[in-house]
Amino acid sequence: MNMNKVLITFVFTLISISAISQNTHYRKDDRPQNVKEDSHNQYQSDRFGEVKILKALEMVGVRIFDFPISPAFEKEYKFSVCLNEYVEGEEIKSDDIFPSFFSKNVYTYSVKDTIEQKDVWYFDYIPQLTIFTKKDNDTTEILRVGHLGGEISGIKLHTKKMRDGQFYNWRSYSKIDWTLNEEVPLLVYASSYHDGKFERFCGEVDLSKDEEATKELLEKSPHYYIITLKVSE
């Protein structure tokens, strides 16, 4: 991946690494998820229902995919998100989206000490991964991938359209429990395929529910991307 073309946003990743090395204590972050992600409520996340927001975003070509981490982390691991590209069923490219200094499964947060009136820092383990997608034009999809430790954006997925009527769709997996040192698929961005008469695509939204439909899609789609999660020591 050409990292010069990718925007990296640091939230607390580097702080996490240095803070932990300085004996920062672990403390379970019990704040609601919307407070963790919008601590100043600048997006008024306490007022709007998720479905309304998702429908509004889809109108402008934006999708959001949340992936809770299961089983929950209890120790520090390396946390990798890979983007794998396939043509005619063969992998032609694989990139680790997160650079090495950005690949820990921890983040830091602060709690106000009411007596000393200062921020006390703690670390906790990342509870979920979020992927935002945006259609840039008819041939390009742009990704932003992040968690509470930070995010990386500007990742481009290019389509390979060869005929009229051909289209691409997102499909996700619901069975995403991680296994140490194995890649677990999260998302697929795939092209439709032509059956001789019509353009076809897997009708099942959740690729974990119908293994045969998923197998057919990945065997017949001429071009697709798979985003995977890998946890390792």
pLDDT at site 1: 53
Mean of per-residue pLDDT scores for the chain: 84
Strand partners, 218: none
Q: With cut-offs at 50, 70 and 90, classify the pLDDT of residue 114.
A: confident
- Rounded distance between C-alpha atoms, residue 204 and residue 225, angstroms: 17
Strand partners, 26: 123
pLDDT at site 210: 86
Asked whether residue 24 carries a pLDDT value surpassing 80, the answer given is no
Burial of 26 (0-12, 13-18, 19+ CB in 10 A): exposed
Q: Which of the two residues, 27 and 175, has the higher pLDDT score?
A: 175
pLDDT at site 50: 66
- Rounded distance between C-alpha atoms, residue 99 and residue 216, angstroms: 33
pLDDT at site 45: 61
Asked whether residue 22 carries a pLDDT value surpassing 60, the answer given is no
| 3-class DSSP assignment, residue 195 | coil
pLDDT at site 196: 81
pLDDT at site 115: 79
Query: Tokens 């989206």 — which residue?
Result: 97
pLDDT at site 178: 96
- Rounded distance between C-alpha atoms, residue 204 and residue 202, angstroms: 6
Q: With cut-offs at 50, 70 and 90, classify the pLDDT of residue 32.
A: confident
Asked whether residue 60 carries a pLDDT value surpassing 50, the answer given is yes
pLDDT at site 46: 59
- The whole model's pTM is what? 0.76
Task: Using alpha carbons, select from 179, 187, 189, 196 the residue that is nearest to residue 228.
Answer: 187
pLDDT (average), residues 2-31: 58
Task: Using alpha carbons, select from 175, 155, 201, 167 the residue that is nearest to residue 9.
Answer: 155
The string of pLDDT tens digits covering residues 154-172 is: 999 999 988 888 999 999 9
pLDDT (average), residues 84-111: 90
Asked whether residue 218 carries a pLDDT value surpassing 60, the answer given is yes
Hey, which of 48-52, 180-184, 205-209 has the most confident mean pLDDT?
A: 180-184
Asked whether residue 57 carries a pLDDT value surpassing 80, the answer given is no
